[in-house]
Structure 1
Amino acid sequence: MSLSGLNPILMTIPESFESARLLIRAPLFGDGAAVNEAVIESIEELRPWMPWANNIPTIEESEIHIRNSRLKFLDRTDLQLLLFHKETGQLIGSSGLHRMDWQARSFETGYWVRTSYAGQGYISEAVEAITNFAIHQLEANRIEIRCDSRNKKSAAVAERSGFTLEGILRSEKCATDGSLRDTMIFAKVRGVEY
């Protein structure tokens, strides 16, 4: 059955799926402590790119974020996904589908990885799995990755994952340091890349 025209709140969306090394799932109440631990470990690497990483969160703040993310997942306004290592059960990062246009079936994916798991291909693996999830479960027509043009690692993930650089928006947003940044827009589009 096609999802076209179906109100997103009525959609049955799987809460979890797997890749070779990862369990990728929706946030659950109680995940705040694991997220907090990963953010604290990774704060210096996150700070240049993620506005929310300017201040180290408390466990309570992380749990509030997780609970809000859970509610957004349920009402289909944002689909945050947590990345867990299948063998160890450790939270290694976060991703998801954001800025959703359900009518056009257009989604944006973003990501961050825990410092101790960086450079091992986990984010590329997660992006591939989440892209396939969006295509097959949500009938995505377009999936975007947007990143600061100075964030070479994030851009490399997009390129490795087969996303096409569509353009660069010059002086489009303020970076975490307040300076203007250029935003690179990568995308996969139904009928072109898949």
Structure 2
Amino acid sequence: MSTANPDPILLDFPESFESERLIIRAPLWHDGAAVNEAIRESIDELRPWMPWAQNTPAIEETEANLRHARAQFIGRKDLRLLLVHKETGQFVGSSGLHQIDWQTHKFEIGYWVRTSCQQQGYITEAVHAITDFAIRELSANRIQIRCDAHNLRSAKVAERCGFTLEGILRNETCDVNGSLRNTMIFSKVRGVEY
């Protein structure tokens, strides 16, 4: 990081913002039980795409994971965001801004939704709101979404949110089973899409 860029720990921005139906916020202490419940409900749908979902975690493991995520958020190293329904308070899913490069103001959006909330537009709504947050609050120059080329639902979210498919990286990484996979990369870039 050049001397012209401040230490990211000094950056002030909201830990919570809203979309039409969602409160989108940083993890807090004691979120573990609600998130664990959603993981247990959704483990079969998460397992093919998420390396962390190969085994069902105990509540304590989820709580510890979220506390680490909170520390990362405070340190500005990774910005995990929980999606909570405004009216019911139910945990809907998780997203966030990852693979952060503060020098170039580049971010990657990741996401998952609990099974009972699938196909209701929550992730599309969250990605729109998180994209706006990254542009407005973090001066994002580039926002990207990466997904397994076989994960068509994830790719459709990127397309619905106006991200441009830049390309498909062939044999770019391994999938959850250790087989080579192709990765689709979508982006929005300052001066082009916004």
Q: Deviations over 1:49-81 (max 9, x none)?
A: 000000000000000000000000000000000
Q: TM-score, structure 1 length as denominator?
A: 0.97
Runs of 4+ in 1 over 2 A off after TM superposition: none
Map 1:1-194; keep pairs closer than 5 Å.
5-194=5-194
Q: Deviations over 1:17-50 (max 9, x none)?
A: 0000000000001101111000000000000000
When the two structures are aligned, how many residues end up with a matched partner?
191
For 1:113 and 1:93, locate their aligned partners in 2 and report how far apart those are by CA, in whole Å.
4
Kindly provide the amino acid, as one letter, of the partner of residue 124 in structure 2. Answer: S
For 1:70 and 1:5, locate their aligned partners in 2 and report how far apart those are by CA, in whole Å.
23
For 1:132 and 1:106, locate their aligned partners in 2 and report how far apart those are by CA, in whole Å.
14
Kindly provide the amino acid, as one letter, of the partner of residue 154 in structure 1. Answer: S
Q: TM-score, structure 2 length as denominator?
A: 0.97
Kindly provide the amino acid, as one letter, of the partner of residue 66 in structure 2. Answer: I
Q: How far did residue 6 of structure 1 move?
A: 2.2
Q: Give the alignment's Cα RMSD to 1 decimal.
A: 0.7
Q: How far did residue 178 of structure 1 move?
A: 1.5
Q: How far did residue 131 of structure 1 move?
A: 0.2
SS in 2 for 1:56: coil
Q: Deviations over 1:58-115 (max 9, x none)?
A: 0000000000000000000000000001110000000000000000000000000000
Identity of aligned residues (%): 68
For 2:32 and 2:143, locate their aligned partners in 1 and report how far apart those are by CA, in whole Å.
27
For 1:97 and 1:9, locate their aligned partners in 2 and report how far apart those are by CA, in whole Å.
16
Kindly provide the amino acid, as one letter, of the partner of residue 66 in structure 1. Answer: L
For 2:130 and 2:78, locate their aligned partners in 1 and report how far apart those are by CA, in whole Å.
14
Kindly provide the amino acid, as one letter, of the partner of residue 82 in structure 1. Answer: L
